[in-house]
Structure 1
């Protein structure tokens, strides 16, 4: 058999608890449910962090969050630490397909791939004048004069119009749905016969939770209007005006969006089968983190949680993980706790003809976040910022009763027994000394290489997606 293709599908923001794969009462993931019947289902998979940049950096590099220290959207990960340039050097074509502005634009993660299709739907023509080439503030009249003097005035004018449209673009859930990127992915696949390795991050289940009509579960205009209730960073608004009721109601819309993301997976699997590439492809379907809709923290019980802004709750770290190895036809259920940080090693072992698990060979599984760094300046002044700033940390180990989680935040601590995505309980509020012991043993991997400048367009996209800035 020739070298297998590699497909990483990240269902952004999908938590295990709301998937029918994990016994949620609503059928939100029929495709994942079916895939698990012929693949390996990790029932207790954990994301290394609770927000996109940190979890993607771990997925791509294999380092834990506090080893790579990619905490902010603009922090750059050394490409030499990433699996994707490694695959390119070994002869794979590599591609990234996503509407996620953090992955494709704010960070440098897109630079790790040979080909990228991201949320910026227009790029300037190389043959014309690009407004970005002119220094300082560029009035329209000045650009018109410069464009008409250029060797290719028509192409320059096209660039000017495109720039204006781009600068006024907002996040469009319909244009950025999974089907768009699945189509672009297969256009890319069909360009060559060489082995490929690709990452699709599908943003359908990310805020603002707007599903297309065919995936809707509720005929309720008032419920659907909640998508427009929040403006800017959803977590900042909830903390400011106390609209936890509106946040909780969004979970119904979230379920619809998970159904839409799952349909994107169905299109991917069908397209691979149509091309005769399904059997010879390593397929990994997972999520980078979950979402919180007002749940109380398990470790700091006075703190309520919002989306993936702070906390280390199971609704934020417990994610679906289904893996179809090349040639696999029989199902396998893995109940031990697993980590997404194993992805690079799983890929390497698969290419070498082996089969590696996402369960660590030794040691615990860990997760952490510094999403709200001290002193918490991004938070409203009316709240006690110490309640939200990181680090939030968790250490997971297997136990006869299920998975045991020990978590800390500041001086708070808790031990939680997790039997499934639907069944868990806090068994102790004593501070677990095991957590600092594990995290103190980690070293800086020295793979963060500065920060990337973000322009107004990227900032606008991040705000439209509800991120704190």
Structure 2
């Protein structure tokens, strides 16, 4: 049975409602729109968590976030990911990203791959970002490195490229920055990297968050162009038709959307909360040789990525069905409370960390058509609603949080031992005692995680 290459393209912080492929009013994903004509679009895909590390671990291992419990304070043990499985089957594997959680962190996600390419010390000026908030190359640099690596392969390959262009701070090149203006760019620059706390504290009106969305939309357009570079490059190399292509956001992003749970903060950026803007992500999949496009409204989860690879690349399963759709019509997602460094920042800016340091637990159930039922618990409060398409809600009502918690405590899920706690490492402020000192610590702070 033939085997196929695998390309996983992750646009970091890309939410579904900001993509034209899923109906957004702005043409933010023109290439993805065209690509979807020969691919499968999942209109109701959910991420396992609302930030990078737990979401990627779930994608790589197939285990839900509350099962594996891996975050930046634990190291992923060897032998639990689909990329290691592919390597054992004779594939060359590679990771390409500017995300320090993936390529430089002691959590070990880069060790999953035979090749890992992170932030370069030097790069051509053609790859410079469009702004003053960061000194790192844009995603085109990583796309070109991925294509060079693929061109050197003599056997089947599997690559993951994580694009940070859609992660704050948003700095799209001028040719893609179609909807922002000088005011919005000056606002982002004046707030610096950790602008989410300014909104969560009430120091800035949430109305200004929607102004930042104008720049974000340009960043989405840039990520779409980078994806086009990858696909056209693979086609020129003659390997596209033999490659399983998965384009997805690892989690979403919030721009001040109000939440239905009174005790929960509004949706700002990511990492805190249950708002669907942080969990509903685009998912477009093109199987090797696929020519006919499909739109799947069944509830889907990124945690099924390993199963999809086994079915469509390794040929170990049924490749005809919607591989990412939940087999039982239920999807779960969760977020552990913020750690000490973020709590300290919350106390400094907001005066109180308690409103932000809670568990988020979500249970989604499939419904007919392009709808899902969402039950979400934020600490001891919970709410239920029906979500239509990319955001419209009906049938809102408060529910007992135990309904959500009991679902996570049921026998259908079990803890899995796939990670080891990092000795002497509790949070980012301890980085000076570990290998995280210096540039990595600065990069994490630049991304707002300190």
Give the TM-score of the pair, scaled to structure 2: 0.88
Aligned 8 A contact 2:48 2:58 in 1: yes
Instruction: Give 4+ residue runs of structure 1 displaced > 6 Å after superposition.
Output: none
Which secondary structure state, in structure 2, belongs to the residue aligned with residue 349 of structure 1?
helix
Asked whether 1:25 is paired with 2:7, we answer no
Q: 1:50 to 1:351 in 2, by over 3 A?
A: same
Deviates more, 1:241-250 or 1:313-322: 241-250
Q: Does 1:15 align with 2:15?
A: yes
Of 346-355 and 197-206, the range deviating more from structure 2: 346-355
Q: Find 1:345's aligned residue among 307, 319, 323.
A: 307
- 2:69 maps to which residue? 69
Asked whether the equivalents of residues 210 and 227 of structure 1 are also in contact (C-alpha less than 8 Å), the reply is: no
Secondary structure at the counterpart of residue 215 of structure 1: coil
Q: Which moved more, 1:246-255 or 1:281-290?
A: 246-255
What is the 5 A alignment of 1:44-193?
44-71=44-71, 73-106=72-105, 107-121=107-121, 172=134, 175-193=136-154
In structure 2, distance between residues paired with 1:348 and 1:219: 42
Judge which range, 32-41 or 374-383, deviates more.
Answer: 374-383
- Does the residue aligned with 1:86 lie in a helix, a strand or coil? helix
Structure 1 segments unaligned to the other structure (5+ residues): 124-169
If the length of structure 1 is used for normalisation, what is the TM-score?
A: 0.85
* 2:188 match: secondary structure: helix
Q: CA deviation at 1:240?
A: 4.4
The 1:273/1:322 distance shift into structure 2, 3 A limit, reads same
Displacement after TM superposition at 1:241 (Å): 6.0
| 1:415 equivalent in alignment to 2:384 | yes
Matched residue, 2:232: 270
For the residues of structure 1 that align with 2:202 and 2:40, how far apart are their CA atoms?
44
Q: Which residue does 2:429 correspond to in 1?
A: none
1:405 aligns with 2:374: yes
Gaps of 5+ in 2: 124-131, 426-433
Q: Which has more radius of gyration? A: 1
* Cα root mean square deviation, aligned: 2.2
Mapped pair 1:228 → 2:201: no
Q: After TM superposition, list the pairs within 5 Å mapping 1:380-459 onto structure 2.
A: 380-381=347-348, 382-400=350-368, 402-425=371-394, 427-431=396-400, 433-441=402-410, 442-451=413-422, 453=434, 454-459=436-441
| Residue matched to 2:334 | 368
1:379 maps to which of 307, 328, 346: 346
The one-character-per-residue Cα deviations of 1:423-449 (angstroms, maximum 9, x if unpaired) are: 223521122543112211232201121
Q: In 2, distance between residues paired with 1:171 and 1:327?
A: 42
Secondary structure of residue in 1 paired with 2:440: helix
Paired with 2:193 and 2:337, the residues of 1 have a C-alpha distance of 17
Q: Which residue of 2 aligns with 1:138?
A: none
How many residues get paired?
Answer: 420
Cα distance in 1 for residues equivalent to 2:202 and 2:265: 16
Select between 182-191 and 371-380 the one with higher mean Cα deviation: 371-380
For 1:214 and 1:234, how far apart are their aligned partners in 2? 25
Once residues 28 and 218 of structure 1 are traced to their aligned partners in structure 2, the CA distance between those partners, rounded to angstroms, is 10
In structure 2, the partner of 1:336 is 298
Q: Distance in 1 between matches of 2:288 and 2:261?
A: 40
